[in-house]
Structure 1
Amino acid sequence: MSTQEWAPATVSRRPDQALALELVRVTEAAAIAAGCRDVLRRPASPRTAAAVALHDHLASVLMRGTVVVGEGEKDVTPILFRGAEVGFGDGPECDVALSVGDGALSAVKDVTRSLSAIAVAERGALYEPPPDAVMEKLAVGADCAGVVDITRPVAENVRAVAEIKDVRVSDVVVAVLNRSRHRQLAQEIHDAGARVHLLEGGEIAGAIAAARPESAIDLLLGTGGAAEGVIAAAALSCLGGALQTRLESEGADKVFHVGDLVRSEHVLFCATGVTTNELLRGVQYHAGRSTTQSMVLSSKPDTVRVVKSEHRFA
């Protein structure tokens, strides 16, 4: 056999599908830790437990990652802070954006429709939002990408979506975070004749669902964290969906699109349901085992995987 045939495989210099499948283990571990029902014996909050699990499992992932969207700044969180290095220390250099629980996980009350998520792209590709920045968002699928505009009134965008989908305005479903700040927005949607779908736990799942043809959600509107906007943009860049955003601190004129938030053609996204949401089923517990459902997205090659895993406890 020739020397060439025996040569070891080279490590990819860009995020690829092999890396994406490694990342599934990471989001699964975070979701299981966050969703653990043994609250009384758990030493940390669900969010902290999820962050620790995510951090520990990232250590074995073959990449040289730098956190650009994480759990906060270095002076307020010990792990997964902005600028933290994650990964095994070999493999492609990557930007990493993560959410250990899209929604305010509580130690005493489950938050519905939450997930753990991680996005990876080439180094320097992901937009780094200002700390604690608030971002206005509009998300749709590829079919409606060219007809909506975040600067237009809600009613105009709703009518444009209805026309493209060839449905009545009253059949258009708009996802909105269930927050008091969105009361006026919800009223505008109702006044436009469309239906409101309230997101309890978080907006990442809602934004991705708006880009999935089998989803009941047609459009996502509202304000939320800029960090979640970057993660959603990574997912939508793999799906061909559209995301338009505006940072409140930068005024209403500057509109960011997916290409502004994710400047790469090599993007990976993985998410695992903590509790059942618009995108994925949450962690299910059984005697001696648990099951998880995850979504794995890759931009090159363009693939969408939904992974169901069974985890047996020792």
Structure 2
Amino acid sequence: MEERNAGSPAGIDGPDHTLALGLVPVTEAAALAAGRWVGRGDENSGKVAAVDAMHQLITSVSMRGVVVIGEDGKRLSGGEEVGDGDGPACDVGISAGDGALSAARDVPNALVAIAVAERGALYDPSPVRSMEKLAAGPDCAHVVDINRPVAKNLRAVAAAKGVRVADVVVAVLNRPWHRELVHQIREAGARVHLIEGGDIAAAIAAARPESPVDLLMGIGGAAEGVVAAAALSCLGGTLQARPRPEDSGPGGAAQEVLHTEDLVGGERILFCATGVTGSEVLSGVQQHSGRITTQSIVLCRSPRTVRVVKSQHRREESRLA
């Protein structure tokens, strides 16, 4: 499935849609590797497997990439050069298994994602661990403001969509520090969609017309916020964020507001993600007799393009043992 809008600016050197499609095998391999550990009671092994698979395949992608947002550890960490050494110079952001794989069950909203932008375009979130976020789609990007009270934003979204506040659905990470936020959303009359896994998928869902989610609100990982901002930029939505200092708890002081263009700049922005477990955006890895299926989303800012890729993979019993 492909959705396209009009063309890209001429004469801009940077990552393009060809590179975006080259990222699909990388996120697919990572999702397949992580998916083998879902529900097995060993959360860390799934993430390690995803990083190893991604690291192995990203070297074949035609780019001169530098990891700005990576994984803690020896592979795909900040500053590492990735790609085959040819092609455009790029900043790369990686999220391997956003949405922790549960030790007991399949938590929805887990995915593996790669964001690519022009060199110097990705915000480096390493000084902070978390961000307060507000994500909305293109129909509401101009009416929301993270500095406003929750109820006022909900009324603005309802007006922009031509619905009642009671019809607005807000995705919120199911975490103890969000009890007050959940109370405010419900007090305003809107509905809460609690997320057990990560919030990248929910941020994308807020910008997809077929999704039931209208907004994402709440505090989540800073690195995931930047990766999600790349997706929202490609979709014409907005992600507003207030980085939180390392020593700041959920009620602590936050910094200045960053907007989508502060988190990821330039016109040449790509995003690719493959589902590990199901969400409003992507199906998770699905096991069938003799085959495994994956679903990925590929986004480009210029030309503005959305592709959804469903792939079948031959089951390799030796690797699944």
Comparing 292-301 and 131-140, the one that deviates more: 131-140
Find the counterpart in structure 2 of residue 164 from structure 1: 160
Find the counterpart in structure 2 of residue 268 from structure 1: 270
Summarize deviations over 1:98-140 as a string: whole Å, max 9, x none: 1110112245543222111100011100000124521000011
Comparing 290-299 and 101-110, the one that deviates more: 101-110
Q: Percent identity?
A: 64
Find the counterpart in structure 1 of residue 188 from structure 2: 192
Aligned partner (choices 291, 294, 306) of residue 292 of structure 1: 294
In 1, distance between residues paired with 2:263 and 2:178?
Answer: 24
Structure 1 residue runs of 5 or longer lacking an equivalent are 1-11
Judging changes above 3 Å, is the alpha-carbon distance between structure 1 residues 253 and 58 closer, same or farther for their aligned structure 2 residues?
closer
Find the counterpart in structure 2 of residue 21 from structure 1: 21
In 1, distance between residues paired with 2:64 and 2:102?
Answer: 32
Find the counterpart in structure 1 of residue 203 from structure 2: 207
In 2, distance between residues paired with 1:126 and 1:71?
Answer: 16
Structure 2 residue runs of 5 or longer lacking an equivalent are 1-11, 317-321
Q: Give the aligned residue type for 2:292.
A: S
Give aligned pairs, total. 298
In 2, distance between residues paired with 1:138 and 1:161?
Answer: 12
Summarize deviations over 1:277-299 as a string: whole Å, max 9, x none: 12100011112220000000011
Contact 2:38-2:101 within 8 A present in 1 as well: no
Summarize deviations over 1:231-264 as a string: whole Å, max 9, x none: 0100011010011110122954611101101111
Partner SS state of residue 28, structure 2: helix
Judging changes above 3 Å, is the alpha-carbon distance between structure 1 residues 13 and 207 closer, same or farther for their aligned structure 2 residues?
same
1:1-314 to 2 correspondence within 5 Å?
13-36=13-36, 45-72=45-72, 77-106=73-102, 109-249=105-245, 251-252=253-254, 254-314=256-316
In 1, distance between residues paired with 2:74 and 2:102?
Answer: 20
Q: Give the deviation of 1:14 after TM superposition.
A: 1.5
In 2, distance between residues paired with 1:202 and 1:253?
Answer: 22
Q: Give the deviation of 1:212 after TM superposition.
A: 0.9
Contact 1:46-1:106 within 8 A present in 2 as well: no
Contact 2:128-2:243 within 8 A present in 1 as well: no
Q: Give the deviation of 1:269 after TM superposition.
A: 0.3
Q: Give the aligned residue type for 2:51.
A: A
Judging changes above 3 Å, is the alpha-carbon distance between structure 1 residues 173 and 140 closer, same or farther for their aligned structure 2 residues?
same
In 2, distance between residues paired with 1:94 and 1:128?
Answer: 14
In 1, distance between residues paired with 2:128 and 2:223?
Answer: 8
In 2, distance between residues paired with 1:289 and 1:13?
Answer: 39
Q: Give the deviation of 1:37 after TM superposition.
A: 5.1
Contact 1:174-1:217 within 8 A present in 2 as well: yes
Provide TM-score, normalisation by structure 1: 0.91
Compute the RMSD of aligned alpha carbons.
1.9
In 1, distance between residues paired with 2:82 and 2:104?
Answer: 30
Partner SS state of residue 53, structure 1: helix
Q: Give the deviation of 1:313 after TM superposition.
A: 3.1
Q: Give the aligned residue type for 1:288.
A: G
Judging changes above 3 Å, is the alpha-carbon distance between structure 1 residues 132 and 54 closer, same or farther for their aligned structure 2 residues?
farther
Comparing 279-288 and 123-132, the one that deviates more: 123-132
Q: Give the aligned residue type for 1:173.
A: V
Q: Give the aligned residue type for 2:300.
A: S
Find the counterpart in structure 2 of residue 4 from structure 1: none
Judging changes above 3 Å, is the alpha-carbon distance between structure 1 residues 137 and 38 closer, same or farther for their aligned structure 2 residues?
closer
Contact 2:141-2:237 within 8 A present in 1 as well: yes
Judging changes above 3 Å, is the alpha-carbon distance between structure 1 residues 306 and 128 closer, same or farther for their aligned structure 2 residues?
same
